[in-house]
Amino acid sequence: MGRVAPAVALSAVLAAVAAGCGGSSPEEKWAGSVCSDVADWKSEVQKASDDVKTQLQSLQAGTLGAINTDVKSAVDATQQLATDLKTAKAPDTEAGTQAKQQIDSLASQLEATVTKAKQTLDGVPQGAGLVETAQKLAPLASDLSSLLASASNTLSSVQASASAIKDGFDSADSCKQFQR
């Protein structure tokens, strides 16, 4: 019984350390969430974009369906990111409020692009041929590329905004891929 108490105490201390008791700041947690969401979105949009480019280079039966699926996947991922960014709770500081405004602005850009993408998809006539479909959907590629760049630029701008926010972005593992 005398040996059990120290073992239990040691286990409790190790568990607290492993859980990161007091380790992450609110800025780091928020930055990590934002970067993780953007990274997931970027991966999904990049995959969809690459797939569409491949489909457009070798037009064949089934291409239209595959392109529609890829575009809808990118649209869904973009809509999800906009929602995630708007609901992410920034640190309750002046710098956190300013950073949240920048992130919300990006979310609004994402929503505008989703609306435009849906309109573009709806604008493809039923029964349109591959060439006509490709011409109608081609502008979406540049819109998505612009969004990818805008997301990276926004993260860089937010990261540079204030020392506590910058420290949060510098410390969050999921943000390492966006650091320049």
Fold for 26-178, please state it. Answer: Four Helix Bundle (Hemerythrin (Met), subunit A) (1.20.120)
Q: Provide the 3-class DSSP secondary structure of residue 93.
A: coil
pLDDT value at 4 more than 50: no
Output 32 or 163, whichever has higher pLDDT.
Answer: 32
**Cα(106)–Cα(124) distance, integer angstroms:** 27
Nearest to 45 by CA among 37, 13, 156, 29: 37
Let me know: does 114 contact 75? Beta carbons within 8 Å: yes
Phi, psi of 3 (to 5 degrees): -85, -20
3-state class (DSSP) for residue 158: helix
Contact between 159 and 89 under an 8 Å Cβ cutoff? The reply is no
Residue 41: which pLDDT band, with cuts at 50, 70 and 90?
very high
Question: What letters, b where the CB count within 10 A reaches 16 and e where it falls short, cover 135-157?
Answer: eebeebbebbeebbeebeebbee
Report which of residues 36 and 61 the model is more confident about. Answer: 36
* pLDDT tens readout for residues 60-104: 777 777 878 888 898 899 999 999 999 999 999 998 999 999 999
Q: pTM of this prediction?
A: 0.76
**Between the ranges 24-38, 46-60, 158-172, where is the mean pLDDT highest?**
24-38
Angle between helices 26-57 and 63-87 (to 10 degrees): 170
Ranges of each domain in the chain: 26-178
How much is the average pLDDT of 48-56?
Answer: 82
Pull the structure tokens for residue 106: 């990006």
